[in-house]
Amino acid sequence: MTSQVQAVDVPSVTAPSSPIRATDAPKFVTQIVGAVAAAHLLNDLIQATLPAIYPMIKDKYDLTFGQIGILAMIYQITASLLQPLVGFYTDKHPVPYLLPIGMITTLIGVIGIALANSYMMLILTSAIIGIGSAAFHPEASRVARMASGGRFGTAQSCFQVGGNSGSAIGPLVASAIILPLGQIAFGWLAVAAVIGIWTLFFVTRWRLHHPQAQLSSAPTSTAFQHSRATIIRALVVVAILMFAKFIYIGAFTNYFTFYLIERFDLSARASQFYLFCFLGSVAVGTFFGGPVGDRIGRKAVIWVSFLGVAPFALLLPHANLMWTAVFAILIGLILSSAFAALVVYAQELVPGRVGLVSGLMFGLMFGIGGIGAACMGELADQHGIIWVFGVVAYLPLLGFATALLPNTNGR
């Protein structure tokens, strides 16, 4: 979907369909953007709780860092491989009820994790959660754009900040409920999944019956602003930036608790608070990144995000506990601001392919995170987790590749 979508009037979220008038201005449908953001919070809360209980799983099943990395990789690769396929298919053949179906799949995975009694069962049920995520992300991102009223960066940020908020809450849920009560307590997350299913049925009803959603679903101009070669080059650069961003963030998401435990002798429960601080800052940074990108341009946000975080990333491996917490918060705040800008930039670069682009972007995020988790686990087994954090600190410097990005309508 592009900014060329015609204008429509949406009197309320529950009003019946009305004739579409070309003179009406598209509106930011707060209820729908808020609903998909809330569903994203619940979806990513479930996803974030899984890596937060890795220390417990590692001890219970006597696993190595490498095996933990494989577990993370299987879950994330499952989601990443399916997301672009889901987006590509639904660009041509809309499946509105895919959103609640995806959350039902996640519910099955949650119950499976709670009842799993072996490492292989954990891998299988983690993959089921990954399938639910693959169905959710590209379609929910599409709906956020439908309801954006042309404020694409703002809608994408609101959607993504819901997910980041869920990711931040996940470690707290793990610390307060699952770690004290054991693996079976993971089943309490079924409550979040059920609420998510109900919310996504509400979103689907709006999508089926309201003119702004219907018009946004209609075929739009797919005329490219740049040559094929320029688009390919730009997408390669975006992939490099996504690699740098999500390998580095993946180091925190999957291994920051281990880093704190080994370097500062913290307990597993105490380390969850610092992970919460990092993930909370990621949520805040994501929220502001989209609106700022709507105002000053996507490339400017990407520049600031990567190069602004580099000094803190390089200092963190040498800091004491207090400064480690401060630098982790600044890193999450600054680096996360690029995500909405990268997603909307790619959507503007390849108009008419919102599902495919969203699937690729979110899939790339999960795929890079999964591969990175496995590789970092192996490296941690060989060199130690502290060494790993020292190496990945140089990744934000890949932000210099932003110079190769062409301008789009969003600059």
pLDDT 10s digits, 4-20: 434 444 444 444 444 44
Is the per-residue pLDDT at 23 higher than 50?
no
Percent of the chain with pLDDT over 90: 27
In this structure, is residue 273 part of a structural domain? yes
In this structure, is residue 411 part of a structural domain? no
Give this prediction's pTM. Answer: 0.66
What's the confidence (pLDDT) of residue 5?
A: 39
Least confident of 110-114, 271-275, 339-343, 349-353: 349-353
In this structure, is residue 13 part of a structural domain? no
Least confident of 2-6, 124-128, 305-309: 2-6
What's the confidence (pLDDT) of residue 41?
A: 93
Provide the residue range defining the domain that includes 82.
30-404
In this structure, is residue 242 part of a structural domain? yes
Percent of the chain with pLDDT over 70: 83
What's the confidence (pLDDT) of residue 411?
A: 56
Domain count, the chain: 1
Q: Can you give the CATH number for the domain in which 99 is found?
A: 1.20.1250.20
Query: What's the pLDDT tens digit per position in 181-229?
Result: 889 999 999 999 999 999 999 999 988 876 555 555 444 444 556 677 7
In this structure, is residue 11 part of a structural domain? no
What's the confidence (pLDDT) of residue 2?
A: 38
Residues 106-111, mean pLDDT to the nearest whole number: 95
Least confident of 22-36, 273-287, 347-361: 347-361
Q: At what angle do helices 354-383 and 65-92 cross, to 10 degrees?
A: 170
* pLDDT band at 230; cut points 50, 70, 90: confident
In this structure, is residue 22 part of a structural domain? no
* pLDDT band at 120; cut points 50, 70, 90: very high
Range among 59-68, 103-112, 336-345, 354-363 rated most confident: 103-112
